[in-house]
Structure 1
């Protein structure tokens, strides 16, 4: 089976006390609108999402195009779900950026528990899928990194760059293990990514 791990599109920033579950920004809505065409070559049979709004809103255009409902799995939430606010990476402090570049989650987050939660959620999605099925999972950069780290045994938990609306493909072998087929495909939103707008 094939698993498409899609990072949420660009969300709004939230302020302290507003929680870490913002809606998509106008740019993020445009990014999400491109996903049905970008994923049309894949025979998606299920759409699964993190419970956070930015992931659900990113998956909705694909679900609507396919006439599917979005299944919510709490275990696919990002590590920041209980923080007081959400800050897009482009606005992160130097200290937060350095921590991320060093491959670490915030100090208050139990990395082992986060990894166990995410892998259990993905394992169940995979176990419920048929051999020929493709499942699209809308989630977060930390979640996608956790899966790549788990499969590839990377040194750092945060091991790959995952852009907004980027697509990472995992394949399940006949022997039952997951392998990484591709990471962070962004051709469909290249011109809408904040880092590319600077060039």
Structure 2
């Protein structure tokens, strides 16, 4: 089976006390609108999402295009789930940015528990999917990294760049289990990514 791990599109920032579950920004809405065309070459049979709005809103255009419901799995939420606010990586504090750049989650996150939660969610998606199915999972950069790290046994948890609306493909087989097929496909949103606006 095939898993398409799609990072959410660009969200709004939320301030302290507003929660860590903001809506997509106008730019993020435009990124999400490109996903149906970007994913149409895949025979998607099922959609699963983190419960956070930025992931659900990213998946909605695909759900509308395919006429499929979006299943919600709380285990696929980001490590900031339930925190007091959301800060896009571009606005992270210097301390948190140093940790993230060194491949670690922010200091108040239980990294092992986060990885175990994510892996349990993905394992259940795989276990309930048919051998020939393709499942699109709308989630978060930390979740994608947790899976790439687990499957590839990388030294650092945050081992790959995952852009907004980027697509990472995992393949599962009965003999080899999960394997990483591709990471962070962004051709469909290249011109809409904050880090590329300077080029």
TM exceeding 0.5: yes
Question: Partners in 1 of 2:98 and 2:108 — Cα distance?
Answer: 16
Question: Partners in 2 of 1:24 and 1:46 — Cα distance?
Answer: 22
Q: Which residue of 2 aligns with 1:47?
A: 47
Q: Which runs of 5 or more structure 2 residues have no equivalent in the other structure?
A: none
1:188 is paired with a residue whose SS is helix
Q: How many residues align?
A: 199
Question: Partners in 2 of 1:26 and 1:20 — Cα distance?
Answer: 18
- Equivalences for residues 20-39 of structure 1 within 5 A: 20-39=20-39
Q: Which residue of 1 aligns with 2:145?
A: 145
Q: Which residue of 2 aligns with 1:187?
A: 187
- Equivalences for residues 122-141 of structure 1 within 5 A: 122-141=122-141
1:113 is paired with a residue whose SS is helix
- Displacement over 4 Å in runs of 4+: none
2:37 is paired with a residue whose SS is helix
Post-superposition shift, 1:174?
A: 3.0
Q: Which residue of 1 aligns with 2:90?
A: 90
Question: Partners in 1 of 2:154 and 2:176 — Cα distance?
Answer: 20
Q: Aligned Cα RMSD in Å?
A: 0.7
**TM-score, normalised by the number of residues in structure 1:** 0.98
Question: Partners in 1 of 2:46 and 2:138 — Cα distance?
Answer: 11
2:108 is paired with a residue whose SS is coil
Q: Which moved more, 1:4-13 or 1:86-95?
A: 86-95
Q: Which residue of 2 aligns with 1:105?
A: 105
Per-residue Cα deviation, 1:30-55 (whole angstroms, up to 9, x for no partner): 00000000000000000000000000
Question: Partners in 2 of 1:38 and 1:4 — Cα distance?
Answer: 12
Q: Which moved more, 1:95-104 or 1:115-124?
A: 95-104
Per-residue Cα deviation, 1:108-133 (whole angstroms, up to 9, x for no partner): 11111100000000000011111110
1:45 is paired with a residue whose SS is strand
Q: Which runs of 5 or more structure 1 residues have no equivalent in the other structure?
A: none
**TM-score, normalised by the number of residues in structure 2:** 0.98
Per-residue Cα deviation, 1:72-114 (whole angstroms, up to 9, x for no partner): 0010000001221101111112222111011111111111110
Post-superposition shift, 1:176?
A: 5.2
Residue 72 of structure 2 is aligned to residue 72 of structure 1? yes
